[in-house]
Amino acid sequence: MEFLKRKIEQDGLVLSKDVLKVDSIINHQIDPILMSEIGKEFANRFKETKVTKIVTIESSGIAPGLMTALKLGVPVIFARKRKSLTLVDDLLTSTVHSFTKNETNEISVSNKFLSSDDRVLIIDDFLANGQAALGLVDIVKQAGAEVVGIGILIEKCFQQGGSLLRKEGLRVESLARIQSLEEGTITYLEESEAILS
Amino acid sequence: MEFLKRKIEQDGLVLSKDVLKVDSIINHQIDPILMSEIGKEFANRFKETKVTKIVTIESSGIAPGLMTALKLGVPVIFARKRKSLTLVDDLLTSTVHSFTKNETNEISVSNKFLSSDDRVLIIDDFLANGQAALGLVDIVKQAGAEVVGIGILIEKCFQQGGSLLRKEGLRVESLARIQSLEEGTITYLEESEAILS
């Protein structure tokens, strides 16, 4: 998606070969026009999949999740993240380890919002090691619902998340696929390579 | 705002004389059409105030903040909430006590996103004791920026937050002003009373 790539080049900061900071447009300050375009793009890519619910995770997934939900005309649910969670009957939970922050969180969704009839589109801002996405897939499956796809804003293709999810047979659509952040430069995966990967 | 009141009556749950649960439309599952209408309403109410930035707080403030930002054509910043925060130079921080959850959090905004030229509209989902809103006002003032108003989805008028903020001379616009949740029933403040309060 050229619009997102342009915004990343303009406003993103490469902090190291692993870390791209986009806190001025996506995950602290949010550009609402960008989010609206992102919602339109996901809605278009998944328009044939009969989505009934969007599932995302607080806090950075809420903006793109909401804009996609608005375009598709379905509700969005955001999973809550907690250090540890006392077991509550009416929650679907999963455990997610963040390598970036080196912490493990319980994530949860109230079971009243997902049923076995649901066709779920998962939305998140970053895909790196894939732990958050796998946790959300786990929660959707616990509800007996189907994951019709995963929509990601920025995929770090040099980390394993994308391959992990695709090996599970999941359809992953990433709007910006980054091959490398070496030497302070953002290199995108060429479309031709993306098809083969 | 009649649309929000109707949704609250339809989908809200009065759990006690203090607690109204709206997790099926606002703060866990989100109704994107409702949020879009809310954004339109806030944009209309504050259209003369020359807003340059929206400031809200994770996670439940993000959806209404984003939709208002989209309608006003300005960025939205969400303050992050943490149990305790190691002091970092480039953060504006404040302390917020939640009476509902009985916990104290540091909230923070990166100082690069607010400047003394900014005219800030604060958006949040609930106004009860006013602690979160006061924390956000504090952060905006630390940046030397001006608070042009506070937009709230649901104000519990039987708690002190609204009067606290209005006594400070702040303009507070609440879309649904609840007078009482006694006996499991939602009673709204009449418009005539609202003007006097």
CA distances (Å), B174 to each of B95, B149, B169, B191, B192, in order?
23, 11, 15, 11, 14
For the cut 70, the answer to whether the pLDDT of residue B15 exceeds it is yes
**What's the mean pLDDT when you consider all of chain A?**
94
Q: How confident is the model at residue B191 (pLDDT cuts 50, 70, 90)?
A: low
Query: What pLDDT was estimated at residue B101?
Result: 80
Would the annotation count B156 as a binding residue? yes
Any idea what the CATH number is for the domain that residue B90 is in?
3.40.50.2020
For residue range A16-65, list pLDDT tens digits in order: 999 999 999 999 999 999 999 999 999 999 999 999 999 999 999 999 99
Q: How many CB pairs under 8 A join A and B?
A: 88
Q: Which of A23, A67, A113 sits opposite B110 (nearest CB)?
A: A23
Residues of A in contact with B58 (CB under 8 A): 58-59
| Residue A193, min C-alpha distance to chain B (Å) | 35
Residue of A nearest to B31 (CA): A75
For residue range B148-171, list pLDDT tens digits in order: 999 999 999 999 999 999 999 999
Residue of A nearest to B54 (CA): A29
The Cα–Cα gap between B20 and B197 comes to 22
| SS3 state at A146 | strand
Query: What pLDDT was estimated at residue B181?
Result: 97
Helix (H) or strand (E) holding B135: helix B131-142
Provide the domain count of chain B.
1
Rounded mean pLDDT, B63-89: 88
Query: What pLDDT was estimated at residue A98?
Result: 85
- The answer to whether the Cβ–Cβ distance between B59 and A62 falls below 8 Å is yes
- The answer to whether the Cβ–Cβ distance between B32 and A110 falls below 8 Å is no
Q: Which of A31, A76, A78 sits opposite B32 (nearest CB)?
A: A76
Q: Which domain holds residue B177?
A: 2-196
**Residue A106 and residue A94 in contact, taking contact as beta carbons nearer than 8 Å:** yes
Residue identified by tokens 């921080």 is B93
The Cα–Cα gap between B58 and B38 comes to 18
Under an 8 Å CB criterion, which residues of B touch A?
Answer: 23-24, 28-33, 35-36, 58-59, 62-63, 66-67, 69-70, 73-78, 80, 109-110, 112-113
Beta strands in chain B (DSSP E): 13-14, 20-21, 29-30, 53-57, 76-82, 91-98, 103-110, 119-127, 146-156, 172-180, 187-188
**Residue A117 and residue A126 in contact, taking contact as beta carbons nearer than 8 Å:** no
- The answer to whether the Cβ–Cβ distance between B75 and A31 falls below 8 Å is yes
Q: What angle do CA A21, A27, A28 make, to 5 degrees?
A: 100
Q: Which of A62, A63, A70 sits opposite B36 (nearest CB)?
A: A70
Query: What pLDDT was estimated at residue B86?
Result: 60
Of the listed ranges A60-74, B76-90, B132-146, the least confidently predicted one is B76-90
User: Which phi and psi angles does A186 have, rounded to 5°?
Assistant: -90, 120
Long-range contacts of residues A137-140, Cβ cutoff 8 Å, at least 24 apart = A137/A165, A137/A168, A137/A170, A138/A94, A139/A55, A139/A79, A139/A92, A139/A93, A139/A94, A139/A107, A139/A108, A139/A109, A139/A114, A140/A55, A140/A114
Q: What angle do CA B162, A59, A190 make, to 5 degrees?
A: 145
- The answer to whether the Cβ–Cβ distance between B28 and A75 falls below 8 Å is no
| Residue B1, min C-alpha distance to chain A (Å) | 20
- The answer to whether the Cβ–Cβ distance between B32 and A80 falls below 8 Å is no
Residue of A nearest to B109 (CA): A28
Q: How confident is the model at residue B88 (pLDDT cuts 50, 70, 90)?
A: low
CB count within 10 Å of CB B14 equals: 17
Helix (H) or strand (E) holding A121: strand A119-127
Helix (H) or strand (E) holding B41: helix B32-45
User: Which phi and psi angles does A170 have, rounded to 5°?
Assistant: -85, 140
Long-range contacts of residues A91-100, Cβ cutoff 8 Å, at least 24 apart = A92/A139, A92/A142, A92/A143, A93/A139, A94/A135, A94/A136, A94/A138, A94/A139, A94/A142, A95/A135, A96/A131, A96/A132, A96/A134, A96/A135, A97/A131, A98/A131, A98/A132, A99/A128, A99/A129, A99/A131, A100/A19, A100/A128
Question: Most B CBs within 10 Å: which of A11, A29, A101, A109, as the mutation test of the B interface?
Answer: A29
Helix (H) or strand (E) holding B195: helix B191-196
Residues of A in contact with B113 (CB under 8 A): 24, 28-29
Q: How confident is the model at residue A192 (pLDDT cuts 50, 70, 90)?
A: low
The Cα–Cα gap between A9 and A13 comes to 8
* Alpha helices (H) in chain A, listed in sequence order: 2-11, 32-45, 62-72, 131-142, 161-167, 191-196
Would the annotation count A20 as a binding residue? yes
Provide the residue count of chain A: 197
Residue identified by tokens 């499956």 is A141
| Residue A45 burial (10 A CB sphere; 0-12, 13-18, 19+) | middle
| Residue A72 burial (10 A CB sphere; 0-12, 13-18, 19+) | buried
The Cα–Cα gap between A141 and A136 comes to 9
The Cα–Cα gap between B32 and B176 comes to 18
Residue of A nearest to B81 (CA): A59
Q: Could you give the percent of chain B with pLDDT greater than 90?
A: 89
Per 3-state DSSP, chain B is made up of helix, strand and coil in percentages (nearest 5) of: 35, 35, 35
